[in-house]
Structure 1
């Protein structure tokens, strides 16, 4: 297992490195960084399996850096090293594999190492799994079950709580989720004894739904020791998000020989992760995957632009715009592309669409860079400049 370490405090970095070397002999520490600005380049160079990342660094948002890492190196696992208390850390769990509190405790570090190893093993099994002969759970858009040789089906849940509980366990697949956390998430205003009764009933309903959908022999809900929590075991069932990330991880350099693979892989992102559900706990993962997709789509669009395929570049940036209407980059890219084609109406359309979106709907100012570019374009005579 290859890892990278990031902490702006040199002593903390040395301490973490020694702790990892002491707890696991099979860990290769590829690189350590005290300067977070060097981290993305280091990850692209070393391609680590996991990064131990300090969440609180001067002038750097560790959470955002984690997203950028996962966009630059698809499939990389993030473990936050933080001084935040337990309640703040819950937010990081939504897309990070794990977290470690400072000062680092040996037992907790061992648990994290085991979790990383289990995740890597799961990925290895996923790559070896025959695509056509195993069930698939689809999470882009609504959750759907797909048996071999069949079309995806949206399961009929007995209650909305059953749907959310299954989605939450799936979100944390192969991890034990504490019973107390589930009670707080789903029944925060209900007496504990009554909430526990609701939980048992809801677990039963989920099992019945899995049985109805033909997945009871493959997917199971395991109960922890002393009923402390629940874990969703998927058996050989694949999750489309995992498959897609593995595909993205294997893309390599974008060039004329690989562009068709990029196109095919990016088409796999048809909708946002659990995009049909307003689950706040899914938002970080939803944003992470969207960022990963957008990063590579932007690369594809710029590749087409450099290779004089303006029509294909326009199609790519319009797709980004449709999926991420609040991002300025796609509008600006389209403005410049339409300008290169002397398509004045296209430039005007994109500018006014963006202005309407930012100023009226989001109540944010348009960026000075885009405003200046548009003014200069108008002064120069637009498409006839």
Structure 2
């Protein structure tokens, strides 16, 4: 394990070095009282672990840790400090441990063993795959699941870990203040309790990605969280298709196939409702343009009308349009079958009468059978 020490006190550096040298497998490759000089040497010295003080004059350890984690995401941070009050903030920047001065040999050994285990996991995962070259894929329309770089479904430790991932991912790389995250994920929880839950959930989410070889998946800078993993998705593809200037038949077919259900419809997430509704509205508007196109493909029109009713199950206007389509295309059998469907949906399910215009359309035109 290649270790670099940063502390503004020369004596503290020497004490820490002496204790580390008593443990096997530790190579102290550098000691610095100047944090800026230390930053310049991390890559050159092939550092794996940084032992970092918290308060160092002009530079705070938390700020330096953020810089190191963002620039060298494979490096583990282990705080060694006389200030216990920064423990929670230390774990927010994904520090592996937080040791208080003066160092206790037994406690130090435990931290080293923990760090060694994480380094070994990282090395193994790096050998197994080229994770950074292969994106994750999120299926969000209908039932949700995330596929990792090996096409395996990611298993979430808790429902909140999954929700935190979705919340950060949906913001497409925009940093989100931790207060906003707490308000959205734990709206009725006291702020202190919510902060603890957030720290735990962030840790678990980072761990989930790190087990798949992704380092520093969740970045924390200036009190804001960002998802630092590229995620491809059916949602992104759908937005691209809806924004396309031309409504080509192949693109319409792709939208019909992609939209298997509403956005995250089975997740019951309050913050996702507006996204879900806006996307549904955009898809329905798109299909309405397809069926009103003068050069429309009749097969596509039928598929769109059927999909529209699947999305908006009791929409009487869509029912009328589909019956009209079957009438215009002389599809009497389909017209009869769908009219029975209308009866079930409106009379049996909702307990309301079929609108007069639908009844009239059916009774006046079914005679051509």
Please give the alpha-carbon distance, in whole angstroms, between the structure 2 residues aligned to 1:212 and 1:143: 21
Deviation at 1:345, TM superposition (A): 4.5
Structure-2 change in CA distance of 1:348 and 1:192 (3 Å): same
The partner residue of 1:245 within 217, 239, 245 is: 239
Task: Say if 1:179 and 1:230, in contact at 8 Å, map to a contact too.
Answer: yes
Counterparts of 1:4-15 in structure 2, within 5 Å, are none
Structure 2 residue ranges without an equivalent (≥5): 1-132
Task: Say if 1:170 and 1:232, in contact at 8 Å, map to a contact too.
Answer: yes
Please give the alpha-carbon distance, in whole angstroms, between the structure 1 residues aligned to 2:153 and 2:142: 11
- Does 1:275 pair with 2:265? yes
Task: Say if 1:332 and 1:350, in contact at 8 Å, map to a contact too.
Answer: no
The alignment partner of 2:284 has SS state of helix
Deviation at 1:285, TM superposition (A): 0.9
Task: Say if 1:145 and 1:213, in contact at 8 Å, map to a contact too.
Answer: no
Q: Which residue matches 1:170?
A: 169
Structure-2 change in CA distance of 1:285 and 1:363 (3 Å): farther
The alignment partner of 1:207 has SS state of helix
The partner residue of 2:228 within 225, 233, 241 is: 233
Provide the alpha-carbon RMSD of the alignment. Answer: 3.1
Structure 1 residue ranges without an equivalent (≥5): 1-131
Please give the TM-score of this superposition, normalised by the length of structure 1: 0.53
- 1:284-316 CA deviation, whole Å, 9 max, x = no partner? 11122222222223333445xx56854443233
Question: Which runs of 4 or more aligned residues in structure 1 lie more than 6 Å from their structure 2 counterparts after TM superposition?
Answer: none
Deviation at 1:317, TM superposition (A): 1.8
Deviation at 1:233, TM superposition (A): 2.9
The alignment partner of 1:173 has SS state of coil
Aligned length: 237
Task: Say if 1:136 and 1:237, in contact at 8 Å, map to a contact too.
Answer: yes
Structure-2 change in CA distance of 1:383 and 1:232 (3 Å): farther
Please give the alpha-carbon distance, in whole angstroms, between the structure 2 residues aligned to 1:270 and 1:220: 29
Task: Say if 2:140 and 2:233, in contact at 8 Å, map to a contact too.
Answer: yes
The alignment partner of 2:226 has SS state of strand
- Does 1:384 pair with 2:368? yes
- Structure whose CA Rg is larger: 2
